[in-house]
Amino acid sequence: MSQKEVLRRLGRQFSDHFGRRHTVAAYAPGRVEVLGNHTDYNEGFVLSAAINLGTTFIAAPSPDSSCRLVAGDLMEEVSFDVTSGARAEKNNWSNYVKGVSAKLHARSKSATGFLGMFLGNLPLGAGLASSAALEMASGLALSSLYGADVPNLDLARIGQAAEHEFAGVKCGLLDQISSLFGREGQLVMSDFRTLKVDNVPLGEDACFLMCNTNAKHSLVNSAYNERRAKCEEAARFFASVLKHPVTALRDVTWDEWQTHSSEMDPVTARRAAHVVGENTRVLRGRELLKRGDLAGFGRLMFESHESSFANFENSCRELDFLVSLAKKIPGVLGARLSGGGFGGSVVVLLHPRDAETAGQALASAYQKEFTHPCDVRIIKPSAGARLIPPASGA
């Protein structure tokens, strides 16, 4: 469904379910991580993009402090009080919105609850940041409902806090910032130490394929938190052996890693190698894009995936198969896993003229190898999260 179709369907379902019309609506896109994997919580650099798939959240004030939240695809409802700071043990999908609502309530002190419903066209578990899209869409809608002026970076932090405290995932700010700061035809360049965000044009002669392996992953139940702990352990090690201050792996150069890696636990050294190498690749990639060198940028994407496989070990057989195949397809410039890993999607960089042929080749080979489909679609860098004006069809 298109965004307009999602909004129309959601509006009808809201009226039927609650017996009234919604008063606020917001849309937030998912994101594709193009270069820079697990660098955000290491205070490093990422090139990402908001994409042309996302989540719409609509709401109206409730007559009291009660909140009724409905997942529009399942038509399942969860009820809670706006003052409640407790996470849900059942219907875990509600925790993303509950967390955002709790943080906004603490900020605005509004005693008003809400009637809320959401629906999107982002495939769940595909590594496209569906949870962050829900957080940002609900955050924008509820901020408007409560009359709260929340700057984008504050809203991103609220979404992150919802992940940490309600969903149990120690994520960085990559997904939320990408969703908020996207621009059409441009990548989002984020510095996660200073939280400076810029946009870098991708160029008209480039597009992405997103290949959803349908190998579902849940970061809560995966090794995400263990990987983060290893990165923090590595940072403490480098702080003890380097003469300059080190507060995160952002402060470690590749030369320094090579000099001291043999002194570390081998697993911790490999985890650090991935993050330090990724930061180097992002900075190099930005310069290549500014020069229009898409082929060079694509090679960095292949290098990034190899590091995910060998050093961070957050890939899987399905992801590796697609990246290996992509290298052999004419017109493909680069490919890598996108997101936390352990399943999800591969992002492929190529010229638009080659997208259809390459997509068919990837889908066909994947089906033959794994006997279930790989969803392949063209992804466009798109505008970021926004409120939807009343009576709008989008």
Active site residues per annotation: 175
**What helix, strand, coil percent values describe the chain, rounded to 5?**
45, 20, 30
CA pair distance 150, 116, nearest whole angstrom: 19
How many whole angstroms separate alpha carbon 194 and alpha carbon 81? 36
**Side chain identity at 119, as an amino acid letter?**
L
Buried b (16+ CB within 10 A) or exposed e, 71-95: bbeeeebbebebeeeebbeeeebbb
Q: How many CB atoms are located within 10 Å of the residue 284 CB? A: 15
| Rounded distance between C-alpha atoms, residue 362 and residue 117, angstroms | 36
